[in-house]
């Protein structure tokens, strides 16, 4: 079994992370929505007011997986939460324990930071991921739906 290393992402990882984001988008059939560049990602992860954080997994010096996350807040708990935006492991490295290791790493980080929740979304057709997450102790919330406003609708709602 190949040894993997988990570590916080650095600015030098942004090109590799964007490559993995593109692979994820192809898998999810959403590649037409990807506009992120290494420069924009670097600004959001490492700029003056970071919007998110990332952890990468390396094998043989190559970034083969990532998890991108940020802090949210639960009004009911009165505590911060950790929200996993995306987790992706390249197909050649699936089944190696990397996905589990990334989730465990982020759960430990959530505990360390005093978070009341660790949560994320999963596509309803991704049965493999749903089974994997449930095996890890996650509850898939059947009664909740994501609401999203983007582009012209966001500008209109914001008064633009």
Q: Which DSSP string do the residues of 120-140 spell out, in sequence order?
A: E---TT-HHHHHHHHHTT---
- Does 133 qualify as catalytic in the annotation? yes
Strands 79-89 and 117-120: parallel
The pLDDT score that the predictor gives to residue 3 is 84
Mean pLDDT of the chain: 95
- The values of phi and psi at residue 73, to 5°, are -145, 135
- Kindly list the structural domains of the chain, giving each domain's residue range(s) and its CATH number in brackets, ordered by start: 5-120 (3.40.630.30)
Kindly state the percentage of the chain with pLDDT values over 90. 96
Mean pLDDT of 12-23: 98
Q: Which of 66, 83, 118, 133 is catalytic?
A: 133
> Residue 1: is its pLDDT beyond 70?
no
Residue 130, class by beta-carbon neighbours within 10 Å (0-12 exposed, 13-18 middle, 19+ buried)?
middle
How high is the pLDDT of residue 139?
95
pLDDT, residue 60, reads 93
114-156 pLDDT per residue, tens: 999 999 999 999 999 999 999 999 999 999 999 999 999 999 9
- b/e for 92-114, b at 16 or more Cβ within 10 A? ebeebebbebbbeebbebbeeee
Share of the chain above pLDDT 70, in %: 99
With vertex at residue 107, the alpha carbon angle to CA 101 and CA 111, rounded to the nearest 5 degrees, is 145
pLDDT over 60 (residue 77)? yes
Does residue 12 carry a pLDDT above 80? yes
Parallel, antiparallel, or unpaired: how do β-strands 62-74 and 5-8 relate? unpaired
């Amino acid at each position: 079994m190949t040894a993997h290393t988990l570590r916080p992402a650095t600015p030098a990882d942004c090109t590799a992370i964007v490559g993995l984001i593109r692979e994820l988008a192809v898998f999810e059939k959403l590649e037409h929505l990807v506009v992120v560049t290494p420069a924009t990602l670097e600004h959001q992860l490492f700029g003056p007011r970071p919007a998110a954080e990332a952890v990468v997994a390396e094998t043989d010096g190559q970034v083969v997986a990532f998890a991108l996350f940020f802090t949210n807040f639960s009004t009911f708990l009165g505590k911060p939460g950790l929200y996993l935006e995306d987790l992706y492991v390249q197909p050649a490295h699936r089944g190696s324990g990397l996905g589990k290791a990334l989730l465990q790493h982020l759960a430990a980080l959530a505990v360390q930071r005093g978070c009341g929740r660790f949560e994320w979304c999963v596509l309803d057709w991704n049965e493999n991921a749903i089974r994997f997450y449930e095996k890890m102790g996650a509850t898939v919330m059947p009664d909740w739906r994501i609401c999203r406003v983007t582009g012209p609708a966001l500008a209109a709602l914001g008064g633009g």
